[in-house]
Structure 1
Amino acid sequence: MNAPGPAVNFLVNVFVTDEDAREARESMQQNQLLMQSLDAEIARAEAALKELVSQRSEAQRLLESNSAPSETETRAIREIIVSKETTMEKLQWDISEAQAFLDSLIQSRAQAAETSDLALDNFDADIESARSVLRGLLTERDETHQTLEAHRALLSPIRRIPPEVLGEIFIHCLPKDTYIAPSVAQCPLLLTQISSNWRSVALATPALWTSIAVNLTIKSCLPNIRLIETWLARSGSRPLSFQITESIQKDYYEPGMVTSAAILELYAPHYNRWQHVRLEYLDWRIDTAIASLPCDAPPPSLASLHLSRDFWRPIEHSQLSLLLSAPRLRDCTWISNTDLGTFRAPIPQLAKLFLERPLLAEDFMHILSEGVNLAACQFFVLASSGSNLAPPTIPFVLRHNLRSLDLTADLFGRLFNQLELPNLTEISVRRFDIVPHPAPVWPHPEFMSLLSRSKCALEVISLSDMDITPEQMSDCLRHTSASLEKLILTNDRRMRHTIVDDGVLRLLTWAQPETELGNICPRLCMVKFWDCHSSSDGVLADMVESRWNVRDGGPAKNLNVAFFMLDASHPEDLRRLEKKIGLSILRR
């Protein structure tokens, strides 16, 4: 007996006609075809859902990385962006409609409350329902906007930048400081927290890890020594810049405390990579590990050296001599009571030399005559101690190409008389007072003679604790009018010298149209008057406002940085100036 076939068997009512049976069979066949069609639709829907889930997973992966999407992924992302933009437009419309409906309900309730005694519960329920709908739409809009921006970010050009170029961009993100204090809130450590890709690029870019500032106190070593070692290891073979500042006295040393010597010993094996070095010590009795540095040759890459210590021990002199004789050294700062001349400093090759140790006038002139390449210098000169300011080997007037001169001295006249500085753009003069002077210290004729002789275009004038008079100050301003950009005048409170009065301020006030005497200092963009100012209330504000926000026909540069010290006798100045951004006022 044959097995039954796949055909569907059903009982036939003997009382059903052949036509009815035929229609029943056709109906069953149509139902089968419909079921097959539905199964096919379900299969296609499941495949589409699977594709959407795959795309969502891929998009999520891209969102969590900084990789560039492929062409296929880019097309899919653009479709998502278009879809989300359409959704945003619809949501904005729905939100506007919902807000309008809510406003109308609130208005209707207010009218009903005024015109009838009917219960307002229905209004309150409708209003709460409308608010709920509006909140839901706003939440959906915010989520859609967040998703839209995230997908737009996937197409950002930075994702397509090669790692080498991205590394160069990272280098330009570093702080401008020569010595970087490590912080998770700034580069380079910040770059390692963005994504795995950025972290890999940052760790593979040695130039990001070549500079560090280390600060040692009784309580801590910042950063800790393990981070210093990691920093150094990541620097590869690049030139190194490091600063070690130790503010500890030997009497407070404890066992196990991290010392500056331990830090310097980490850098000693990389001696040939030293480029910028700053070493500052509080106590000369502490071992610095300087004596353990190589003693056969100077560091070949050393370009700048800053050394600060009361005294250097004889055991350290040979290594210090090597540091100072580095062939590429151009920038030297020496803050010590040990004479720099002990080490035969390479003054002829230096471009910058800052000395805090007092010099005799003769030594000052000798250094300038030897330092033919000096562009900036800072000196402390005791001119009153010199017996012979102009030795036979130095011409009476020394012509030099200095651009910046920072001078602390007890007497200035004889120094100014021996200089001619045609390239000078910045001058800072600071008075050193051992004993009171019966006569004014400010050598106005000598200073004006220096300016006239040099024919220099001064851009910065800074005078500290100088007894220059307002009339002499006005004379300086007129002489330097064409080039002056920054004017800094400060006094110790004990001095009580008035340098800026009504006359100086009115001279600096920009007038439109010009007065008969004309306007001066069109390039002035920064001023500081500290304990040297005495004027009528309102005159200072007139000067500042005339230069702060200027229009056509005004000075070449806006005054946008200012520091003043004012008391309660200047209510109008305080009222008019206190809200200007870039202006600081200290109230006495």
Structure 2
Amino acid sequence: MPTTQPPNSSFKSLTSVDSTKLTSRLRRTCGLSGPDIAHISQFLLNAESDVKNYQSEIRKRHAEIVSFQNRISGLQRHMEACRSLLAPIRKLPLEVLTKVFIEFCAEETTMGKVFGCPPLTLSHVSGGWRELALSTPQLWSTIDIDFDHTKSRDSDEIGWSQLVIEILIRSKKYSLTLSIHSGDTIENLQDADIRLIQTLAAQSERWRDVTLELDADSLLDESLSVIRGQLPMLESLTLKNLWEYPDFPEIDIFDNAPKLISFSAGSVSALDPTLPWNQLTNLQLTDCSFLEVLQLMEVCPRLHELTYVGDFYQNEAHPDYHPEQIRSFNHVNSFTIKTTSVNDTFMLRSMFAWLSFPPLETLSISADQMMPAWDWEEIPDTIALFISNSGCRLTTLSLKHMQLSDVDILSILEACPHLRKLVLHGWKYEEQHKVNPAVVVNAGVTTELAAKLAVNHAQYNPASTPIVPKLEELEFGFHYQSALFSGRRLVAALCRLVESRWLPDKEFADDIGVTCLESVSFVVMGSDCKAEYFTTPMNLREVGLRLEVSGALS
């Protein structure tokens, strides 16, 4: 009879099974004899004993398996630790690793979010990293507090306050980058939040880059009044949530900041003239009227960079205001306009029609591609006129998602013969199509535009200067859709443009009056665009062209 003895078991089985004999007995119609009954009874006793032994054996084997699994886990942890010793980051010099940590910590340090303190996260990785983090005050110099994220706290007020105090201690005397956000007025903040503001205000002599997203009442509160005259290091100030109220008291806590050069705000009526405007070099305004922009620029004689962000709604107070003559500002070398919901281009036209920046080198205009302007007919001519009136030598031009045709863009580029960097992101619209009723069509960045910008070496005419002959850096953003062959044609045209301006032989480049491209970037939006379509530029990358292709690639 076959035995039921298991291999490598610690006990000897008492049973053996004869399946044939058992089947024969089950088929009998008569009862069992006395010896059969005795045999079966003994078998059952032996089988029960074997079952218990098997169960015991299983428990022993399971214990061994658990032991093996624990050993495996231990080995894996040890292997991971060994691999970490060989990780490339451990080969970095401490100076480089410190810079990596600084960049990481500067990106997101929002208090009020769970574990929202990157320096703490880094210091918990290893003893070495903790030592490096604690010995680098700059890591602890960025504090971003969002009180709206702390409303769900129970009794953790002391914890957050203590954490901020600990960060201030670890940052030592390093200058602070500080951001405070609250959607509530000062009277609705918790007592612990106000104490936190007071703690930070007491460190105002270390403030360097500050963003306060607080209402005017909060800025007038006594908790911030202590910073008046205590801002020796403040260089950049951003104020949000400021609104104009009749007879509202002036906010004068920032009037004495000897190093302040950069200011960003929305409504500025409550501040004028309580900032040291005459020392500002960078100014960003949001949703101000054209008159307010002019008035502020007049009191900022050292202004170098001007940024306007807003909806460009027609100004209610001065809907038709324009100066008697073009205003010229002889220090502005960078002008940026960002539209968010353009319904009226009066403000845009006013700026380009009545402002002149002779030293201007960088012009950047971007629109929200989800909400493009309704009326752009006069904009291209106005921009070209602005460049002409300024008599400037633009070296950088960026036009993103504006409702401009390729002809419009070319008219602007013809006014920029000194351009070295060009960024063009086209806008899209949908047209009815027989095959696909909702086909996204590019506007602005087209095959025709690419052909005009390409250099035709075979038909070179010394008497005719190519468009933007000094171009060195180029970035195109366009929408690709595989439903139409036009998408593939556009990519091919852009590649030919790049190829035509790849002129590494300086003597040949000088002969035809075109500078060799150094950097090209394609930002692809849409779907089903293949990386292989950019084979020619990718080949040029092998011989020195800096190329980046990003976006929707398959």
Question: What TM bracket, shorter-length normalisation?
Answer: 0.5 to 0.7
Of the three residues 328, 339, 342, the one matched with 2:269 is 339
Of the three residues 330, 334, 343, the one matched with 1:404 is 334
Deviation at 1:371, TM superposition (A): 1.6
Paired position in structure 1 for 2:306 = 377
Contact 2:355 2:386 in 1 (8 A): no
Helix, strand or coil for the counterpart of 2:551? Answer: strand
Paired position in structure 1 for 2:98 = 170
The amino acid across from 1:170 in the alignment is T
Q: Distance in 1 between matches of 2:304 and 2:413?
A: 24
Q: Distance in 2 between matches of 1:237 and 1:347?
A: 28
Once the two structures are superposed, the pairs formed by residues 424-573 of structure 1 within 5 Å of their partners are 424-429=360-365, 440-444=377-381, 447-448=384-385, 450-451=387-388, 453-466=390-403, 468-480=404-416, 482-489=418-425, 491=427, 498-509=443-454, 520-521=467-468, 522-529=471-478, 536-546=486-496, 553=503, 555-565=516-526
Paired position in structure 2 for 1:214 = 145
Paired position in structure 2 for 1:270 = 203
Helix, strand or coil for the counterpart of 1:377? Answer: strand
Distance 1:323 1:313, change over 3 A: farther
Q: Distance in 1 between matches of 2:386 and 2:87?
A: 66
Contact 2:282 2:305 in 1 (8 A): yes
The amino acid across from 2:533 in the alignment is R
Deviation at 1:287, TM superposition (A): 5.0
Q: CA RMSD in A?
A: 5.1
Alignment of 1:323 onto 2:254: yes
More helix by share: 1
Paired position in structure 1 for 2:109 = 181
Alignment of 1:351 onto 2:281: yes
Q: Distance in 1 between matches of 2:84 and 2:186?
A: 58
Paired position in structure 2 for 1:70 = none
Contact 1:549 1:558 in 2 (8 A): no
Once the two structures are superposed, the pairs formed by residues 576-587 of structure 1 within 5 Å of their partners are 576=533, 582-585=549-552
Q: Distance in 2 between matches of 1:292 and 1:250?
A: 10
Deviation at 1:212, TM superposition (A): 1.9
Distance 1:434 1:501, change over 3 A: closer
Q: Distance in 1 between matches of 2:453 and 2:271?
A: 45
> Unpaired runs of 5+ in structure 2?
1-77, 340-344, 432-440, 505-515, 539-546
Q: Distance in 2 between matches of 1:502 and 1:202?
A: 52
Deviation at 1:148, TM superposition (A): 12
Deviation at 1:483, TM superposition (A): 2.0
Q: Distance in 2 between matches of 1:424 and 1:388?
A: 24
Helix, strand or coil for the counterpart of 2:163? Answer: helix
Q: Distance in 1 between matches of 2:497 and 2:518?
A: 8
Deviation at 1:504, TM superposition (A): 0.9
Alignment of 1:297 onto 2:216: no
Contact 1:280 1:308 in 2 (8 A): yes
Contact 1:274 1:299 in 2 (8 A): yes
Larger Rg belongs to: 1
Contact 1:561 1:582 in 2 (8 A): yes
Deviation track 1:313-343 (CA, whole Å, cap 9, x = no partner) reads 899955x31224422111111124x625544
Paired position in structure 1 for 2:28 = none
Q: Distance in 1 between matches of 2:292 and 2:447?
A: 41
Once the two structures are superposed, the pairs formed by residues 58-73 of structure 1 within 5 Å of their partners are none
Deviation at 1:172, TM superposition (A): 6.3
Helix, strand or coil for the counterpart of 2:533? Answer: helix
Q: Distance in 2 between matches of 1:448 and 1:422?
A: 13
Helix, strand or coil for the counterpart of 2:517? Answer: coil
Deviation at 1:152, TM superposition (A): 13
Deviation track 1:95-145 (CA, whole Å, cap 9, x = no partner) reads xxxxxxxxxxxxxxxxxxxxxxxxxxxxxxxxxxxxxxxxxxxxxxxx99x
Contact 1:179 1:212 in 2 (8 A): no
Deviation at 1:447, TM superposition (A): 2.3
Once the two structures are superposed, the pairs formed by residues 384-399 of structure 1 within 5 Å of their partners are 385=318, 387=320, 389-390=322-323, 396-399=326-329
Deviation track 1:261-302 (CA, whole Å, cap 9, x = no partner) reads 343222011122211111224xx4985784322165242221
Q: Distance in 2 between matches of 1:201 and 1:502?
A: 53
Q: What is the percentage of aligned positions where both structures have the same residue?
A: 15
Q: Indicate the larger mover: 268-277 or 194-203.
A: 194-203
Deviation at 1:427, TM superposition (A): 1.9
Contact 1:334 1:340 in 2 (8 A): no
Count matched residues.
419
Q: Distance in 1 between matches of 2:458 and 2:221?
A: 65
Q: Distance in 2 between matches of 1:528 and 1:152?
A: 37
Once the two structures are superposed, the pairs formed by residues 142-153 of structure 1 within 5 Å of their partners are none
Deviation at 1:233, TM superposition (A): 1.5
Helix, strand or coil for the counterpart of 1:562? Answer: strand
Contact 1:399 1:421 in 2 (8 A): yes
Q: Distance in 2 between matches of 1:404 and 1:530?
A: 28
Distance 1:551 1:462, change over 3 A: closer
Q: Distance in 2 between matches of 1:269 and 1:202?
A: 24
